[in-house]
């Protein structure tokens, strides 16, 4: 897990904090990050993608050190974030650099020799019902056994139906500085056809997909990367995807190349070998990694390194990675310094260049930020600049969407984050680009006012916690380039939503309620796909220690 250089509260959540955010998918977390725009076609099971400054392919996800590659041919080069198992995470860190967003996830792990059980049950509108169950136990000899399952079902004529079943199993052993753990995760997701509502010319519906994703990996480790001294890890993983229903699927109507047909036996698997070596001394961290992939019987080696410094007054990181699957070299440097306790200066610079071909431009980006702390609140303002970029298309929504190239880009953003008065706080981010462009709204904002209190004056034991929040989200209309003579596709209007949530923890039980799109305003994030109207979602999470 890298050190984070954000001004104020960093974008990191442990397991209790993660569920308390109300995030149902990874895109709910990414929506909090400046310069990131998320897109989805509907409710929880719908395809979901994220762009960094309007550029797809620069939001990457790592689980236990393994990078998650997109294997579904319908998704092209853009990762479908709806399939990332947020419910299995112990910790999530979002590394916000100028060049890309790296999401680091660590899988849930038990450290107690007492058996732990947890059950989550929720229900709501759009015919939504969710069930989660967890079990974990570690023996006094260092053996670990974990299992979990997550199922949800949705039902709606406009958003389509879905049936999701994910399961995880882990087994491991640890003694002293040595440990080994094996993890197996499988997800079966059946999404029915989702209708599309658009004026002429008619746009294609999102076709049905019944597929299975699998992740299996084993890691052996020496030492602890969070402690001083030498540490090393080695692992091997196998990641797979398979279409499990339907003889053929026509993604978009028309004649080739606008039509893409996938056979029922579409199966993709990709082994990945991981090696990492590091040394920590005081605030300094040194790390070298290598990932070896077998892509269509061709071996690709991706090597990277990081030098980090983490101190109360200064956090800095220099990162470099040679990514052979897409033949690119990415380097970035990120820092945050506090010359005074109430003053922060941060920034990042990054560069991506092709290694063996010139099919994409060399891209240089930079971000600078200045923060001022008043009381417990950090006020910050930042500027972002990028010279040029070429982004792949999110064809998971529509294969007529095309890649886009953009020239010089500048933007400015501001954030206000922290406790304003007592237990009342705010989390606000606003973003403005010099102009609107493909896959990027010109204006975008997310504002949250919340109260997070244990009410110790009334319940001094700390067995009660109340979190309540009102969130407003806004974005301009977005252009999507299409492979046609018509004008680019455009979302029907700007989007403006109000959301409310409250969570009450009593001992080890948490009662949760969300009301999304409080006023039921119609909006869309992808042209033609209507997002849910007013949506209630509520339930209970209950943990037992036997």
Residue the block writes with tokens 């994910």? 166
Residue identified by tokens 């929504």 is: 397
Q: Is the pLDDT of residue 449 over 70?
A: yes
Give mean pLDDT, residues 52-64. 92
Which of helix, strand or coil describes residue 243? strand
Token pair of 25 as six digits: 């998918």
Residue among 319, 374, 310 at smallest CA distance from 341 = 374
What is the architecture, at CATH level 2, of domain 12-545?
A: Beta Barrel (2.40)
- What percent of the chain lies above the pLDDT cut of 70? 94
1 DSSP 8-state letter: -
How far is the C-alpha of 113 from the C-alpha of 180, rounded, in Å?
17
Residue 263's pLDDT is 53
Give the model's pLDDT for residue 425: 95
Position 145 confidence tier, pLDDT thresholds 50, 70, 90 = very high
Separation in Å, CA 232 to CA 220, 287, 416, 503? 8, 9, 39, 40
What pLDDT does 211 receive?
Answer: 87
pLDDT at 487: 66
Q: Tell me the mean pLDDT in the region 13-28.
A: 92
DSSP 401: B
Q: How far apart are CA 535 and CA 520, in angstroms?
A: 8
pTM: 0.91
pLDDT (0 to 100) of residue 251: 46
Using CA atoms, how far residue 413 sits from 36, 312, 383, 408, 430, in Å, is 11, 25, 6, 17, 5
The domain ranges of the chain are 12-545
Q: How distant is the alpha carbon of residue 190 from its chain centre?
A: 21
**What value does the mean pLDDT take over residues 17-42?**
92
DSSP H or E stretch at residue 378: strand 376-386
Closest CA to 232 of 175, 278, 271, 192: 278
At 423 the pLDDT is 93
Of 70-79, 98-107, 134-143, 370-379, give the lowest mean pLDDT range. Answer: 70-79
- Residue 265: its pLDDT value, please? 53
Burial of 223 (0-12, 13-18, 19+ CB in 10 A): buried
Assigned token pair, 540:
């209970």
**CB-based contacts of 299: which residues, under 8 Å, 6+ apart?**
292, 293
List the structure tokens of 378. 């950090």
Nearest to 165 by CA among 129, 194, 119: 129
Determine the average pLDDT of the residues in 330-340: 95
* Residue 245: predicted pLDDT: 66
The residue that leads in pLDDT, 536 or 196, is 536
- Collapsing DSSP to helix, strand or coil, 104 comes out as strand
pLDDT at 327: 79
- Give the number of C-alpha atoms closer than 13 A to the C-alpha of residue 381, restricted to the C-beta side: 2
Confidence bin at 201 (pLDDT 50/70/90): low
**Distance between CA atoms of residues 172 and 213, nearest Å:** 23
Q: What is the tens place of the pLDDT at every residue in 237-271?
A: 999 998 876 544 444 444 444 445 555 556 788 89
pLDDT band at 292 (very low <50, low <70, confident <90, very high): very high
Q: What angle do CA 34, 80, 492 make, to 5 degrees?
A: 65
CB 450 within 8 A of CB 425: yes
| Distinct helix (H) and strand (E) counts, the chain | 2, 35
Query: How distant, in Å, are the alpha carbons of 152, 468, 502, 519, 532 from that of 124?
Result: 11, 19, 15, 17, 12
Total residues found in the chain within this entry: 546
Question: What is the SS3 string spanning 406-465?
Answer: ECCEEEEEEEEEEEEECCEEEEEEEEEECCCEECECCEEEEEEEEEEECCCCCCCCCCEE
Query: Can you give the pLDDT at residue 95?
Result: 94
What is the average per-residue pLDDT within 495-502?
94
Model pLDDT, residue 486: 62
pLDDT at 358: 61
Alpha helices, DSSP H, located in 5-159: 15-20, 26-30
C-alpha 18/C-alpha 15 separation (Å) is 5
| 3-state helix/strand/coil string of 56-98 | CCCEEEEECCEECCCCCHHHCCCCCHHHCCHHHEEEEEEEECC
**Mean pLDDT computed over 43-62:** 93
Confidence of residue 482 (pLDDT cuts 50, 70, 90): confident
55: its two tokens: 């550029």
Is the pLDDT score of 89 beyond 70? yes
Dump pLDDT digits (tens) for 345-376: 999 999 998 887 666 788 999 999 999 999 99
Q: Are 543 and 508 in contact (CB under 8 A)?
A: yes
Residues with Cβ within 8 Å of residue 159, at least 6 apart in sequence:
42, 43, 46, 126, 194, 530, 532
Mean pLDDT to the nearest integer, 92-117: 92
Residue linked to tokens 């409080």: 518
Give the residue, 101 or 323, on which the prediction is more confident: 101
Q: Please give the mean pLDDT across all residues of the chain.
A: 89
Give dist(CA 199, CA 215) in Å, integer: 41
């Amino acid at each position: 897990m890298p050190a984070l250089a954000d001004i104020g509260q960093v974008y990191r959540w442990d397991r209790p904090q993660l569920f308390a955010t109300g995030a149902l998918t990874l895109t709910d977390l990414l929506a909090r990050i400046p310069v990131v725009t998320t897109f989805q076609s509907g409710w929880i099971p719908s395809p979901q993608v994220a762009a960094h400054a309007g550029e797809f392919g620069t939001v990457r996800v790592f689980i236990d050190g393994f990078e998650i590659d997109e294997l579904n041919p319908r998704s092209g080069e853009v990762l479908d974030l709806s399939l990332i198992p947020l419910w299995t995470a112990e910790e999530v860190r979002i590394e916000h650099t100028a060049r890309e967003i790296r999401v680091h996830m660590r899988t849930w792990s038990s450290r107690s020799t007492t058996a732990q059980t947890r059950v989550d049950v929720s229900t709501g509108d759009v015919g939504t019902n969710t069930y989660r169950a967890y079990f974990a136990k570690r023996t006094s000899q260092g053996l670990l056994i974990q299992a979990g399952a997550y199922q949800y079902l949705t039902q709606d004529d406009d958003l389509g139906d879905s049936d999701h079943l994910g399961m995880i199993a882990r087994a491991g052993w640890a003694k002293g500085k040595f440990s080994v753990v094996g993890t197996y995760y499988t997800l079966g997701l059946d999404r029915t056809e989702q209708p599309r509502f658009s004026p002429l010319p008619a746009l294609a519906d999102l076709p049905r997909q019944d597929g299975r994703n699998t992740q299996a990996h084993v890691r052996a480790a020496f030492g602890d990367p969070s402690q001083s001294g030498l540490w090393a890890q080695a692992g091997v993983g196998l990641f797979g995807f398979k279409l499990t229903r339907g003889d053929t699927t026509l993604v978009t109507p028309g004649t080739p190349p606008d039509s893409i047909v996938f056979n029922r036996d579409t199966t993709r698997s990709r082994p990945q070998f991981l090696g990492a070596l590091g040394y920590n001394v005081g605030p300094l961290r040194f790390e070298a990694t290598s990932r070896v992939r077998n892509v269509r019987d061709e071996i690709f080696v991706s090597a990277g390194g990081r030098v980090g410094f983490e101190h109360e007054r200064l956090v800095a990181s220099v990162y470099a990675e040679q990514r052979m699957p897409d033949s690119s070299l990415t380097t970035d440097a990120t820092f945050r310094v506090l010359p005074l306790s109430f003053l922060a200066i941060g920034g990042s610079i990054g560069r991506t260049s092709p290694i063996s071909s010139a099919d994409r431009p060399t891209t240089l980006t930079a971000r600078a930020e200045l923060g001022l702390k008043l009381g417990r609140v950090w006020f910050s303002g930042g500027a972002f600049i990028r010279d040029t970029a070429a982004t792949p298309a999110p064809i998971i929504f529509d294969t007529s969407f095309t890649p886009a190239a953009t020239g010089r880009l500048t933007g400015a953003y501001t954030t206000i984050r922290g406790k304003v008065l007592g237990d009342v706080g705010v989390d606000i981010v606003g973003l403005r680009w010099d102009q609107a462009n493909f896959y990027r709204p010109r204006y975008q904002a997310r504002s949250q006012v919340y109260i997070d209190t244990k009410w110790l004056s009334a319940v001094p034991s700390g067995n009660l916690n109340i979190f309540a929040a009102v969130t407003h989200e806004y974005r301009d209309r977005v252009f999507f380039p299409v492979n046609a003579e018509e004008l680019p596709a455009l979302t029907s209007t700007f989007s403006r939503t109000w959301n409310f949530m409250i969570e009450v923890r009593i001992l080890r039980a948490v009662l949760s309620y969300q009301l999304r799109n409080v006023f039921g305003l119609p909006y869309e994030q992808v042209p033609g796909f209507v997002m849910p109207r007013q949506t209630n979602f509520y339930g209970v999470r209950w943990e037992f220690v036997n």
